[in-house]
Amino acid sequence: MWFQQDGAAPHFALIVRQFLNQNYRERWIGRGGPVNWPPNSPDLTSPDFYLWGYQKNVVFEERPTTREDMQDRIRQACAAIPRQTLLNTVRHFQRRLTLCLQANRGNFKQLLHG
């Protein structure tokens, strides 16, 4: 299994990188890691780009009442993601990767919306 995180400043803290090096060895992606995170790409991955927002809308359709209720809602929302939503997420991810390569690692946001 691999662990992936973005280039956010808190993820670059020495204690975080030490933990990842100890627990994931050469199997983590992130700033300063064995596989470096691409610069200026906070929404390159599918979860960041779409899936977390989708899940948040499902989980918070009604306000959770307890911590356990919140955990149950998250589990249920993850288990109930429609197959087509996952396929669309992968398709959009592939498109963003292609645009990133075409832009030679530059900004491609305008290409997404153009």
Burial category of 97 from C-beta neighbours within 10 Å (exposed 0-12, middle 13-18, buried 19 and up):
middle
Residue with tokens 């197959």: 83
Interval 82-104: pLDDT, tens: 999 888 888 887 887 788 778 77
**Inter-CA distances, 112 with 40, 47, 102, Å:** 15, 17, 12
- pLDDT for the residue 80: 94
Sequence spans of domains, the chain: 1-40, 42-113
The whole-model pTM stands at: 0.53
pLDDT per residue, tens digit, the chain (114 aa), is 788 777 778 888 999 999 999 999 888 888 888 887 766 565 566 666 678 888 899 999 999 899 999 999 999 999 999 999 888 888 887 887 788 778 776 666 655 554
DSSP H helices, the chain, are 14-24, 46, 52-59, 67-79, 83-102, 109-113
Rounded CA-CA distance 54/103 in Å is: 28
CA distance between the termini of the chain: 36
CA distances from 71 to 43, 46, 79, 87, 107 (A): 25, 22, 12, 25, 37
